[in-house]
Structure 1
Amino acid sequence: MNVLLTGSSGWLGRHLAPLLESDGHRVVGLDVAPGPHTMLLGSVDDRDLIARAFRDHAIDAVIHGVALHQPDIARYPKQRFVDVNVSATLGLLEEAVAAKVDRFVFTSSTSLMISAAIREGRGEAAAWIDETLAPLAPRNIYGATKLAAERLCRLIHDEHGLSVVILRTSRFFPEEDDQAHVIGLSGPNTKANELLHRRLTAQDAAEAHRVALARAPDIGFGLFVISAPTPFARADAAALKQDAARVIAGYFPDAPELYARRGWTLPRSIDRVYDAGLAERVLGFRCRTDFSGLLDVLRRDDPLPFSHDPGYVSPQAASRMNG
């Protein structure tokens, strides 16, 4: 298939494009910044550029991965989020329908599920977050626009029958956490802890999109949380909030010792858990890297299975700085 991949120079795109090519697809990459898999330079909200992409490259499928993200809130006005995250998504969907495209995969975010109450850790138990969580109350313009884009995906599916799979990915960015000064842990320590409940690797994020592309026609419309499988059960929610380290040690008795060797600290409290069980049951996708696998790496003293790059800058941000 000829696959239009938006965000082809970004963190997801650079991991996903080689997978698609290995499956025999022709990747037509679009991004504001050049990259080895980027064929079309420009913004996703340039409707003329998008129309030409469909017309000139006989597009069969779309993976829409580009967006303004939470760190961009400090860089762009709200209207720009609407332009890129909402209006551009509608443009892609409409052009896909006009071109009789077979399938559409949309990269969304678990961030849109996090209300102010969850973000602030209110309540006596960790929030258990899966596709049934409601009502959704995004706390910022990023979450609000991603939710709006999801609803456009559903609308176009209902109206035109376009096969759409939405992937609400948890964290897989390489850069430092924006709350690092509050967390007080090293970046690798923080990312390791998050594999318990709110993170996946970039490689797994790319693989999830690869699977979604293949399965979209069979699913018709699907929305899935994509995150490393958590070892916890719903019954652990209260204990995780009060004493997460004790719960973790119950599941993984040698985790405290393995962490101590690295000078790391297990989380004292966990305020949310992403449950990716539906993706495993319906989409047929399960992340390869989980916390148990991380501990195996620590036992062998092998390289960590995730990337940490405090200096990483997204193509959108780099384009703005260079512009």
Structure 2
Amino acid sequence: MRILLTGSSGWLGRFLAPALRAAGHTVTGLDLAPGPETHVLGSVADRSVVDRAMGLGIDAVIHTAALHKPDIARYPVQAFVDVNVTGTLNLLEAAKAAGHDRFVMTSTTSLMISEAIRQEKAAEAVWLNEQTGPLAPRNIYGVTKLAAEGLCRLYAAEHGLASVVLRTSRFFPEDDDTHKQPSGENLKAIELLHRRLTVEDAAAAHITALEKAPQLGFGLYIASAPTPFARQDAAALKSDAAALIRERFPETEALFAARGWQLPPSLGRVYDAGLAERELGWRAQTDFAAVLDALRTGAPLPFAHDPGYTSPLVAGR
């Protein structure tokens, strides 16, 4: 198929474009920032840009472009509405007009996190899946991504445009912008237990969604590394996560200590990607066990970590 990939210069886009080509697709990239995978420069918020890209001959859209949580410090609220909501509407309208039979959109698990969940004051870890609700996003990023999800659902129901929404957990390479301890690679390794996936697995999820969309009509799935925990572990995760990790992975403490890493005393939330495995047929290939394998053998860590990473959009400002 001929795929229009929005956000083609971003972190996900640079992995997704070659993965799509390897799967036999032709890729046209659209992004505000130039990059090796970008062919059309402009914003999805501009309908004329979207129409120009569609005019190049497109069979389906994978929509990864968005303003994200770190952009809150750089852009006004209206920009989030323009890009994340109006941009999604522009693409859905153009896809409908072109007679497409599938549409894939990148969303975020962040929109599931209310301020109460973020504060982690509950007695147990919060178990998060596609049935979690009512949703109360804590910032404009989450609010606009939730609205964009609603548009995809609406166009599937009213116009027959099969759509799959992927609520991806964390896969950014840079350091966390709010948590300083544990830092860097240590934090990313821990997050593979409950709230992270690799960018390669994120790309694979989008390709699977593209293939399965017409069969599903509409689908909304959490995309995250498989957690080794279950709902009944919620209390133990909150009270003494380190003990539970030692129980499930006895060598963890020694392997972490050899690298100067820490185990988490508490985990306040878990993303459950089981529905994506059952309905979409996708499962992340990299999990916490892969981290331990790398630490044990001295192999490179199975996730990207780049404290100096800057998005092309920010770098070009």
TM-score bracket for the superposition, by shorter chain length: over 0.9
- Matches for 1:248-287 after TM superposition, within 5 Å: 248-287=245-284
Identity %: 65
Q: 2:213 matched to 1:216?
A: yes
1:21 Cα shift?
0.6
Q: What is the aligned partner in structure 2 of residue 18 from structure 1?
A: 18
Letter in 2 for 1:229: P
Q: 2:99 matched to 1:100?
A: yes
Structure-1 separation of matches of 2:19 and 2:264? 34
SS across alignment from 2:228: coil
What does the per-residue CA deviation read over 1:160-214, in whole Å, with 9 as the maximum and x for residues that have no partner?
A: 0001000000000001101233xx2220000000000000001100110111111
Q: What is the aligned partner in structure 2 of residue 90 from structure 1?
A: 89
SS across alignment from 1:180: coil
Structure-2 separation of matches of 1:237 and 1:162? 38
1:17 Cα shift?
0.4
What does the per-residue CA deviation read over 1:73-95, in whole Å, with 9 as the maximum and x for residues that have no partner?
A: 00000000000000010010001
Q: What is the aligned partner in structure 1 of residue 38 from structure 2?
A: 38
Q: What is the aligned partner in structure 1 of residue 51 from structure 2?
A: 51
Kept after mapping to 2: 8 A contact 1:8/1:31: yes
1:273 Cα shift?
0.2
1:43 Cα shift?
1.1
SS across alignment from 1:210: helix
What does the per-residue CA deviation read over 1:52-102, in whole Å, with 9 as the maximum and x for residues that have no partner?
A: 2112x2210000001000000000000000000000100100010000012
What does the per-residue CA deviation read over 1:265-288, in whole Å, with 9 as the maximum and x for residues that have no partner?
A: 011100000000000000000000
Structure-1 separation of matches of 2:234 and 2:268? 8
Structure-1 separation of matches of 2:311 and 2:68? 9
SS across alignment from 2:4: strand
Q: What is the aligned partner in structure 1 of residue 116 from structure 2?
A: 117
Q: 2:143 matched to 1:137?
A: no
Q: What is the aligned partner in structure 2 of residue 9 from structure 1?
A: 9
SS across alignment from 2:300: coil
Q: What is the aligned partner in structure 2 of residue 70 from structure 1?
A: 69
Structure-1 separation of matches of 2:84 and 2:131? 23
Task: Give ranges in structure 2 of 5+ residues lacking alignment.
Answer: none
Structure-1 separation of matches of 2:32 and 2:39? 11
Give the aligned CA root-mean-square deviation in angstroms: 0.8
Q: What is the number of equivalent residue pairs in this alignment?
A: 317
Q: 2:197 matched to 1:200?
A: yes
2:238 corresponds to which of 215, 228, 241: 241
Letter in 2 for 1:45: A
Q: What is the aligned partner in structure 1 of residue 28 from structure 2?
A: 28
Task: Give ranges in structure 1 of 5+ residues lacking alignment.
Answer: none
Kept after mapping to 2: 8 A contact 1:68/1:316: no
What does the per-residue CA deviation read over 1:118-151, in whole Å, with 9 as the maximum and x for residues that have no partner?
A: 1000210000000000100000000000000000
Q: What is the aligned partner in structure 2 of residue 300 from structure 1?
A: 297
SS across alignment from 2:39: strand
1:189 corresponds to which of 186, 209, 212: 186
SS across alignment from 2:61: strand
SS across alignment from 2:219: strand
Structure-2 separation of matches of 1:212 and 1:16? 13
1:318 Cα shift?
2.3
Normalised TM-score (structure 1): 0.97
Q: Which runs of 4+ in 1 moved over 6 A?
A: none
SS across alignment from 1:156: helix
